[in-house]
Chains A and B, each alone.
Chain A
Amino acid sequence: MHLITMAHLGEAQGVIEKFHLQKVRPDLFKNEEIVLLLTGEGPIEAVTKTALTLPLYPFQEVINLGVAGSLKNHAIGEIHPVRSLYLVQDLKPGFKSFQVFTDGLDCLTSFERILEFEKAEKLRGLGQLVDREAWGVAMAAKTAGVPFKAFKIISDLAGTIDACEIIKEKAYEFSEKLSDHLEMYFASTNQKIQATKKMLPGFHFTFSTEHLFKALLQKLSIKEQRSEDEILESLPAETLREQKLTPKERSKRLLEEMENRVDPLKAKLLQQKLTLQESFKRKGLTITTDPQWENPKAIISFEAGTDQELQEKIEALKSVSLASLAKIMNGDFSVE
Chain B
Amino acid sequence: MASVTAEKVQEVREVTRIERIGAHSHIRGLGLDDALEARAVSQGMVGQAAARRAAGVILEVIKEGKIAGRAILIAGQPGTGKTAIAMGMAQALGSDTPFTSIAGSEIFSLEMSKTEALTQAFRKSIGVRIKEETEIIEGEVVEIQIDRPATGTGAKVGKLTLKTTEMETIYDLGQKMIESLTKDKVQAGDIITIDKASGKITKLGRSFTRARDYDAMGPQTKFVQCPEGELQKRKEVVHTVTLHEIDVINSRTQGFLALFSGDTGEIKSEVREQINSKVAEWREEGKAEIVPGVLFIDEVHMLDIECFSFLNRALESDMAPILIMATNRGITKIRGTQYNSPHGVPIDLLDRLLIISTSPYEEKEIKQILKIRCEEEDVEMSDDALTVLTRIGMETSLRYSIQLITTANLVSRKRKATEVEVDDIKRVYSLFLDESRSTQFLKECQEEFMFNEIGESETMETS
Do these two chains interact?
no
Binding site for B on A (CB under 8 A): none
